[in-house]
């Protein structure tokens, strides 16, 4: 019988577990904590304390696993797993939160856990699970996992379609070996510090955000050490997950990497959350890789979307566009004119298509000049535009650029297209994503859906032609030797959708 | 990968119209069509080994 491994933490080791919960729970609770640790590392971000992330440091674990690891029998009128969770929570070892799509049924809510910080700072070792029944159960899960999830037509985590299976298959044949890891991590930290310093100069960035950055820079050494540790842990986690993947131990992976999200069905794989500096070292079938990306992706897709919306043949024929078109008309009490539908926004693109060379064919450079905000850096301008399109209302109301209010900045950057942006943020697309639906996310929801359509289309072309790829949202990692021919194939494909789309080789 | 739904010959219009319908046949076929033969064409996943356990 194969013995699976878990992390044992000095902070709360297997003997501590045994003393607290008895011999029978030694490896179950150990496995529970080990899985939470690995999953947390995958999602952990050095900026997590700054963000409004739904599950700040919390990670999901399925009820099936919770019950198996912590015990599904009832003792003194309470399930063993619940007693253990409560006890671990009371001792400050874990924290938990219930979340999910059914606000009326507490029992159907999902479980999310957060480990005490000590788990990430203490010494840990990799040890065998010395429990026959637990090893047998894990082995069974591993053997059934892929057959169970592949081909299931279910949105989100549980189902795997052909594109996901293809990427999983490609990822099995990949390697990630970084000889001088310390140097690569140092480069990443330096570019992060540079990014923070640049942000301090962004006029429109709020005082609160700047203060958070300053806090990090104030104790730079502490920040560097914290980030260094996290990046090392991320590298180790991805390395061990790659081994599990190659060994067919899919259930043992830290996370359900291969899935589509509920936000436009974007694809995730084992490398989606891997930092760019690590990605440079990925090899497919032993070959170096290059990145082919969709240039100015989101903003090009926005243009394409407006074009569909303004095209009388399409806005009534294509289900998705028709739905939005009708909702916009209803919002405007039955009448909508070209200007309100963002037609002027299209004219700008005609201009950039004709005079693009002047701006390196870069939309952000073009719009920055047109808005007269040339003193903002490209990154600052891009983030400002993204905030206007995708930001929460509360963030937007606070936005200020020198003496200009949010309404004035929006006018400056979007011109008459601002009406369309406002309208798109006001219609309901609840039926598109019932989980955690928010009106302000409408534009990103629409753009992600269209972007994924384009990425699926070109992915299909690559599969048909036998090319291997790993998708990273709006780009693909491909074999270096095939980079140019793939770029040509993708450009030939997207050109027939619209000339605004271009894939470039990075 | 000959068994995957070939879209090379489809007009872009057909593709976009088909794909953007929420439950279109094209999308369904692209995502899940002929799954078993597709699985066999993959190079690294050992399906037999998985199901034999």
Contact state of B31 with A153 under an 8 Å Cβ cutoff: yes
Q: Which residue has the higher pLDDT, B16 or A389?
A: A389
Among B11, B23, B31, B42, most A C-beta atoms within 10 A, so best to mutate, is B31
Structure tokens at A333: 């009490």
- The pLDDT value recorded for residue A121 is 92
Tell which residue, A383, A358, A233, A370, has the closest CA to residue A298: A383
Contact state of A464 with B32 under an 8 Å Cβ cutoff: no
- The pLDDT value recorded for residue A37 is 96
Neighbours of B5 (CB within 10 A): 19
A162 and chain B in contact, CB less than 8 A: yes
Tell which residue, A413, A147, A18, A426, has the closest CA to residue B45: A147
- In this prediction, residue B53 has a pLDDT band, given cuts at 50, 70 and 90, of very low
Neighbours of A352 (CB within 10 A): 21
Contact state of B21 with A320 under an 8 Å Cβ cutoff: yes
Find tokens 């309208």 and name the residue.
Answer: A423
CB pairs under 8 A between A and B: 87
User: Are A14 and A8 within 8 A, CB to CB?
Assistant: yes
Structure tokens at A379: 């990154």
Radius of gyration of chain A (CA): 25
- The pLDDT value recorded for residue A278 is 97
Report the distance separating Cα A185 and Cα A271, nearest Å.
17
Neighboring chain A residues of B44 at a CB cutoff of 8 Å: 169-170, 172-173
- The pLDDT value recorded for residue A435 is 75
Read off the pTM.
Answer: 0.91
* 3-state SS, residue A466: coil
Report the distance separating Cα A418 and Cα A29, nearest Å.
54
- The pLDDT value recorded for residue A411 is 92
Among B45, B48, B51, most A C-beta atoms within 10 A, so best to mutate, is B45
CA within 13 Å, CB half, A104: 0
- The pLDDT value recorded for residue B26 is 83
**Which value does ipTM take for this structure?**
0.87
* pLDDT one digit per residue (tens) for chain A, 506 residues: 889 999 999 999 999 999 999 999 999 999 999 999 999 999 888 876 654 445 578 889 999 999 999 999 998 899 999 999 999 999 999 999 887 655 555 567 889 999 999 999 999 999 999 999 999 999 999 888 887 777 666 554 467 899 999 999 999 999 999 999 999 999 999 999 999 999 999 999 988 889 989 998 998 999 999 999 999 999 999 999 999 999 989 999 999 899 988 888 899 999 999 999 999 999 999 999 999 999 999 999 999 999 999 988 888 888 889 999 999 999 998 888 888 888 887 777 777 777 767 777 788 888 888 888 999 999 999 999 999 999 999 889 989 998 899 999 999 998 888 999 999 999 999 988 877 789 999 999 999 999 999 999 999 999 999 999 999 999 999 999 999 999 999 999 998 888 889 999 98
């Amino acid at each position: 019988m194969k013995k699976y491994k878990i992390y044992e933490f000095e902070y709360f080791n297997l003997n501590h577990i045994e003393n607290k919960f008895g011999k029978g729970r030694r490896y179950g609770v150990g496995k529970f904590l080990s899985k939470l640790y690995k999953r947390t590392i995958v999602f952990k971000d050095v900026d997590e304390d700054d963000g409004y992330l739904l599950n700040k440091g919390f990670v999901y674990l399925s009820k099936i696993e919770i019950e198996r690891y912590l015990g599904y029998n009832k003792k003194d009128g309470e399930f063993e797993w619940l007693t253990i969770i409560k006890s671990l929570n009371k001792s400050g070892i874990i924290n938990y939160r219930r979340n999910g799509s059914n606000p009326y049924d507490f029992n159907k809510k999902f479980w999310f856990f957060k480990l005490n910080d000590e788990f990430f700072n203490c010494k840990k070792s990799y040890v065998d699970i010395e429990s026959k029944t637990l090893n047998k159960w894990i082995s069974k899960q591993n053997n059934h996992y892929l057959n169970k999830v592949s081909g299931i037509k279910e949105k989100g985590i549980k189902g795997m379609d052909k594109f996901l299976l293809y990427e999983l298959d490609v990822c099995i044949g990949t390697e990630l070996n970084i000889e001088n890891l310390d140097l690569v991590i140092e480069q990443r930290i330096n570019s992060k510090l540079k990014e923070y310093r640049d942000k301090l100069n962004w006029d429109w960035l709020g005082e609160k955000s700047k203060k958070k950055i300053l806090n990090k820079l104030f104790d730079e050494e502490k920040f560097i050490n914290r980030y260094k540790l996290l990046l090392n842990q991320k590298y180790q986690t991805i390395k061990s997950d790659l081994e599990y993947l190659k060994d067919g131990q899919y259930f043992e992976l830290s996370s359900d990497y291969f899935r589509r999200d509920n936000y436009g069905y974007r694809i995730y794989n084992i490398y989606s959350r891997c930092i760019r500096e690590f990605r440079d070292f990925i090899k497919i079938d032993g070959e170096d890789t290059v990145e082919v990306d969709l240039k100015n992706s989101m903003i090009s897709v926005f243009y394409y979307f407006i074009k569909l919306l303004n095209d009388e043949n399409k806005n009534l024929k294509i289900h998705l566009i028709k739905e939005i078109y009708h909702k916009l008309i209803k919002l405007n009490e039955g009448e909508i004119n070209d200007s309100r539908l963002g037609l002027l926004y299209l004219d700008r693109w005609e201009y950039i298509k004709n005079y693009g060379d002047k701006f390196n064919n870069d939309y952000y450079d073009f719009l920055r000049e047109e808005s007269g905000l040339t003193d903002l850096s490209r990154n600052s301008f891009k983030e400002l535009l993204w905030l206007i399109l995708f930001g929460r209302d509360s963030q937007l109301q606070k936005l200020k650029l020198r003496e200009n209010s949010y309404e004035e900045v929006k006018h400056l950057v979007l011109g008459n297209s601002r009406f369309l942006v406002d309208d798109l943020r006001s219609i309901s697309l609840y039926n598109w994503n019932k989980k955690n639906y928010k009106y302000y996310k409408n534009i990103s929801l629409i753009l992600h859906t269209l972007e994924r359509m384009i990425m699926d289309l070109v992915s299909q072309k690559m599969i048909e032609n036998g090319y291997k790829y790993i998708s990273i949202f709006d780009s693909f990692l491909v074999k270096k030797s095939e980079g140019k021919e793939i770029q040509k194939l993708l450009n030939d494909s997207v050109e027939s959708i619209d000339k605004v789309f271009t894939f470039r080789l990075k | 990968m000959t068994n995957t739904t070939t879209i090379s010959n489809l007009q872009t219009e057909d593709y976009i119209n088909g794909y953007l319908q929420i439950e279109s046949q094209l999308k369904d076929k692209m995502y899940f069509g002929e799954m078993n033969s597709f699985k066999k064409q993959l190079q690294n996943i050992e399906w037999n080994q998985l199901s034999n356990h």
